[in-house]
Amino acid sequence: MRAANPSGAEREAPVAEALRLHREVRVNEAAAEFIKQLAEAEGPNLRSVVLYGSAVSGEFHARHSDFNLLCLFDHLDAATLERIGPATRRWTRKAGAAPLVFSAAELARAADVFAVELVDIKANHQVLHGEDLVASLDVPLTLYHLQVERELRQNLVRLRSQYLAGDGRPRTLLSLMTASVSSFAALFRHAAVALGEAPGEHQKPLKKREAIDRLATLLDFDGKPFHTVLDVREGKVAARKLDAAALFHGYLAAVTRVVDEVDRRLEQRAPV
């Protein structure tokens, strides 16, 4: 009996996995070298280097994800930046994202205004050097709801602006959606937390698809466009088979509903 021909997505899956493993090895080697150079340049001033994000949560994708590092120092002035600059630039070229750099005291003081980011980092991080200063970090949630709402609206405004700046071609639309879907999924998870419908930071955080489904149920919007975009991003669906314009219409409509509903519901919960 003749075997059925594999689909394009099935043929691409082993290639995507090989790319992921190759890039992980390459960037892990680069991270080790980067940390060595930081330690040599700063000595005890370098308190901690932490890996966070999709590389830790298990949702890393070779073509779209970055390796995110948080570097914490005792003091962080212009001289420190000058010393670590060359190594940091080499790391950024290989990893796709510059590291976040803070003094340990500064990060603790700024935790309230970076609550969204730090809740995620606390939930998914791995210490590569030094102390685990993140696990014990107190993240006040006094401004959390406001930050969730603001970042959702900022991402919606950015999505519209990038659409208008583009050429409207299918490839451009798909690129716009695949580039933004991870950020929206993360904010959907935080929106669910803000609305009291998902686990807090002390429990296992929702994965991207889980967060989309949870919020879609809560706010009554169609989450299918986000799943389709994630399928494209992960190589499970061939982009050429999709109506990119129709997909973008559904994607934008869902984002707009989320922003409006989160704004309305959080306003209702705000103290008078």
- Report pLDDT digits (tens) over 106-164: 999 999 999 999 998 998 899 999 999 999 999 998 899 999 999 999 999 999 999 99
Mean pLDDT of the 177-190 span: 95
Separation CA 106–CA 197 (nearest Å): 31
pLDDT of res. 22? 45
Angle of helix 170-194 relative to helix 244-269, nearest 10 degrees, comes to 20
Is 166's pLDDT higher than 50?
yes
Instruction: Give the tokens for residue 153.
Output: 């609206």
State the residue for tokens 């308190």: 47
pLDDT of res. 124? 86
Mean pLDDT of the 42-51 span: 96
Model confidence band, residue 56 (pLDDT cutoffs 50, 70, 90): confident
Determine the 3-state secondary structure of 66 from DSSP: coil
pLDDT of res. 21? 46
Separation CA 98–CA 128 (nearest Å): 16
pLDDT of res. 248? 98
pLDDT of res. 80? 98
Is 199's pLDDT higher than 60?
no
Instruction: Give the tokens for residue 5.
Output: 């021909």
- Report the sign of the C-alpha dihedral through residues 181, 186, 189, 191, in that order: negative
Nearest to 23 by CA among 12, 35, 31: 31
Q: Hey, what CATH class is 8-130 in?
A: alpha beta
Mean pLDDT of the 160-175 span: 97
Separation CA 107–CA 105 (nearest Å): 5
Rounded mean pLDDT of the chain?
Answer: 87
pLDDT of res. 4? 47
What are all long-range contacts of 5-9, with beta carbons under 8 Å and residues at least 24 apart? 7/238, 8/238, 9/235, 9/236, 9/237, 9/238
Is 32's pLDDT higher than 50?
yes
Q: Percent of the chain beyond pLDDT 70?
A: 83
Instruction: Give the tokens for residue 64.
Output: 């779209």
pLDDT of res. 97? 85
- Report the sign of the C-alpha dihedral through residues 166, 170, 173, 179, in that order: negative
pLDDT of res. 17? 47
Model confidence band, residue 29 (pLDDT cutoffs 50, 70, 90): confident
Domain ranges of the chain: 8-130, 144-269
Kindly state the helix (H) or strand (E) to which residue 209 belongs, with its residue range: helix 208-219
